[in-house]
Each structure stands twice: as C-alpha cells, then as structure tokens.
Amino acid sequence: MTCMDVAAHAQPFHAGRARIAVLFLHGFNSSPHTLREWAELTADAGYRVALPRLPGHGTDWRELDATGWRDWYACAERELLTLAAACDQVFVVGHSMGGTLALRLAEHHPGSVAGLILVNPGLIASRLQRLAPLASRVVPTWPSGNHDVARPGTPRHGYERTPLRAASSILRLFADVRASLDLVTCPLLVFRSAEDHVVPGSSTDYLRSHVSSEDIAVSELARSYHVATLDYDREQVFSGSLAFIASHSH
C-alpha cells in the first residue's frame, strides 16, 4: 500500500438528502470502519449521514504522523458547515477522539450543532498517552493499542503502530477543548464503557461537570471495551442514538 492508497475499510460514507443530518467522527488511529454500521443504520432510518475519513487515517502511519489535531478538526468543521448549510438540524456523533472533535464543534459552532452523541470521548489523557511527547523524541512509533474490543474475532481497524508525534497532538486537543467546555449548551448523550483500556472514565466525569448543557444522559455499556461501536453493546448504542435524535429533532 502506498501513502496515497486508502484502505477499503477506511472509505468515507455519505448518504441521504434529508433535512436532518448526522455527522459521524471516528477516533485517532482508527477509520470510518468503526462507525460504518452505525452510520448505515442511521441513513436507513431516514437521516442524511456524513462519515468522513479524517486526514492521515486509513492509509499509512507515516501519513498520520504528518498530521495534527488542527488537520482533523478542519476536516470535521468542513463537514459540519456543509451539512448545516443544507439541513435544518445537524447532530454530531463522535467516538474517542472523534468525541473530542465533536465537543469542539459544539464550542465554536453552537448554532449548528443540535445535539452530541459521544462514545467514550477523550478529554483526560491516560498515563500511556502522557508519555507520547517524551517518547516521540526517541522513537517514531509504539505498538498500537487501538483494538480494544471485548467481542472475539472483530477485525482490526487501525494501524499496527501508533505514530507518537501525532499522538502527542491529541494532548493539545484535549487541553484546548477542556478550556471551553462551558460553551457547550446542546443536549448530550454519552455512552461509557464499564471497562475501557484506552480512555479513562474520568474523561466522562470531567465532561459532565464542566459543560453548560442542562440535558445530559449517560448510558453505561456493561460488556464493551473502548471501541464499543464494534462490540457487544453496539445495538444499545445504535438504538439509543436513534431515540435521542428522534426526541430532539423538529
């Protein structure tokens, strides 16, 4: 695979022309694959759907290493503004770092985000993540831990190696979003795995205590690990999100 090739599982997905839209944002060192089934079900339910491939993902880890959080956010922002210009309402879905990007969209474009649906969103770095800036001075990558799924046989969806320079950029994204969480006022539905080996549960706790939203619901995922959208509780995520959108759309 060359750096210009995009893996089949990482292709973006866009569907529908409805007036209510849902923007899906995948996580770091991941791909649209982790959200594709969810996005397709949402489109089948009658909504317009956008699931972009964030820059550097789904090709080669060296491409990801040349990107940073502002590149990923710029992609998410373009998709949001395109949908907002064509639709009456836009809901934003984010998994892991995609959830962090979704929160930043709500901070900077409050009039364009009707609601947020987040799955194990990142705001607080794990101990391993905090080592990335220092480690990046010594080695370019470390083994990827992105395949945190309890369900056996689930296909891998990211690079085998995590580029540390790009991983270090996530810490700056977390700090940027934490600083303005009080600007988030839209309804939120947060799915949190009971056991997550990538994002600490303190991220959701911090989110709940710092946003200004009055409508916040947290749903516990008892059997799933970090990538819950591919795990045992994915049906709970899918059905819960559709119910949330239906109850907040007009």
Q: Between these two residues, 173 and 1, which has the higher pLDDT value?
A: 173
Q: Rounded CA gap, 105 and 113, in Å?
A: 7
Q: Is the pLDDT of residue 124 over 90?
A: yes
Amino acid at 169: S
**φ and ψ at 185, to 5 degrees?**
-120, -10
Which domains are seen in the chain, by residue range? Answer: 13-248 (3.40.50.1820)
- Band of residue 3 on the pLDDT scale cut at 50, 70, 90: very low
- Band of residue 128 on the pLDDT scale cut at 50, 70, 90: confident
For the annotated catalytic residues, the residue numbers are 96, 196, 226
- If you search the block for the tokens 């710029």, which residue do you land on? 74
Q: Is the pLDDT of residue 91 over 50?
A: yes
pLDDT in tens, 55-83: 999 999 999 999 999 999 999 999 999 99
- If you search the block for the tokens 């409805």, which residue do you land on? 18
pLDDT in tens, 14-38: 999 999 999 999 999 999 999 999 9
Helix, strand, coil percent values for the chain (each to nearest 5): 40, 15, 40
